[in-house]
């Protein structure tokens, strides 16, 4: 796997998609973000006002702004200068203060320059699966965090949602009652090469997703000296779906599309 080539392609694609993403997410994020991602990240983070937070791969800054509004002193980074520009604009319009920087999280040296033991917390929402190599980020995070700091992430759930699940919708006549069932079919989990995925509905270009089985995802954090001390698997609720025939994640209240976790120095 040519990491540099994949990462460079990723940067170019995210720059091209920045405007679409910014319109999709607006000020506070899409339904996925508002219902699943942000609540689980905030629960694990348990933020106290005045804390110093680094928001990694911040996109258009939906989570970043929420952290700032909750009283954190936030630095937010992304390798897409277009995303950073759009995030900055929305943050200025909201009257919030955030330090935005263009940084590539595969560049460990650049991350380390942000400052040793500078942050109470690092957040990384819905980005680990977009990054071809995550070891440099975890290693740098171990140094950037204070001794009692935490690293809170959310990512596509490795067991159910980063390995191209096939959505199934079945209808059965059970003794005169029509029963509809939604399920997913998984064909690969342990070894899956990077594959291009369509992303959010309407996303202009597909981009590579990097599936990592749990042992690999968490193993990279453990190898950098972290231990996992919090885990959430948010899913949509049964009543959430107002279009039951649609094969979207809101049809699967029993399957969490997201995995959110909290890491601390071991
Ligand atoms: C799915 S978006 C998530 C954005 C934001 N965290 C959120 O939850 O709305 C993924 C983000 O990861 C960023 N990204 C991908 N690879 C990166 C890298 N190597 N360094 C920094 N950011 C990266 C992309 O530019 C994009 O903004």
Spatial contact of 206 and 240, defined as CB atoms under 8 Å apart: no
pLDDT of residue 199: 81
Distance from the alpha carbon of residue 152 to the mean position of ligand 1, in angstroms: 15
pLDDT of residue 244: 52
Look at the domain 3-159+189-240+254-265 and name its fold: Rossmann fold (3.40.50)
18 ligand 1 Cβ < 6 A = no
Task: Please list the ranges in the chain whose pLDDT falls under 50.
Answer: none
87 ligand 1 Cβ < 6 A = no
Distance from the alpha carbon of residue 127 to the mean position of ligand 1, in angstroms: 5
Percent of the chain with pLDDT over 90: 85
Distance from the alpha carbon of residue 5 to the mean position of ligand 1, in angstroms: 17
- CA 181 to CA 53: how far, in whole Å? 42
CA angle 149, 155, 157 (to 5 degrees): 125
pTM, 2 dp: 0.95
Distance from the alpha carbon of residue 130 to the mean position of ligand 1, in angstroms: 7
pLDDT of residue 164: 87
Spatial contact of 57 and 131, defined as CB atoms under 8 Å apart: yes
């Amino acid at each position: 796997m040519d990491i540099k080539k994949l990462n460079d392609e990723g940067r170019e694609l995210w720059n091209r998609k920045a405007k679409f993403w910014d319109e999709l997410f607006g000020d506070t994020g899409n339904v996925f973000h508002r219902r699943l991602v942000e609540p689980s990240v905030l629960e694990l983070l348990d933020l106290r006002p005045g804390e110093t937070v680094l928001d990694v791969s911040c996109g258009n800054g939906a989570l970043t702004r929420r952290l700032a509004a909750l009283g954190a002193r936030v630095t937010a980074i992304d390798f897409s200068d277009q995303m950073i520009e759009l995030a900055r604009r929305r943050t200025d319009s909201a009257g919030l203060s955030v330090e935005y920087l263009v940084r590539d999280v595969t560049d460990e040296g650049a991350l380390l320059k942000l400052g040793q033991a500078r942050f109470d917390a690092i957040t990384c929402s819905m980005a680990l699966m977009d990054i071809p190599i995550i070891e440099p980020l975890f290693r740098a995070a171990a140094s950037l965090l204070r001794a009692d700091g935490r690293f809170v992430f959310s990512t596509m759930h490795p067991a159910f949602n980063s390995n191209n699940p096939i959505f199934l919708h079945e209808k059965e006549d059970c003794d005169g009652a029509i029963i509809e069932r939604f399920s997913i079919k998984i064909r690969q989990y342990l070894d899956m090469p990077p594959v291009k995925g369509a992303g959010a509905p309407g996303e202009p270009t597909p981009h590579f997703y990097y599936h990592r089985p749990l042992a690999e995802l968490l193993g990279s954090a453990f190898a950098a000296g972290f231990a996992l001390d919090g885990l959430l698997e948010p899913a949509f609720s049964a009543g959430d779906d107002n279009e039951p025939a649609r094969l979207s994640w809101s049809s699967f209240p029993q399957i969490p599309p997201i995995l959110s976790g909290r890491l601390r120095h071991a």
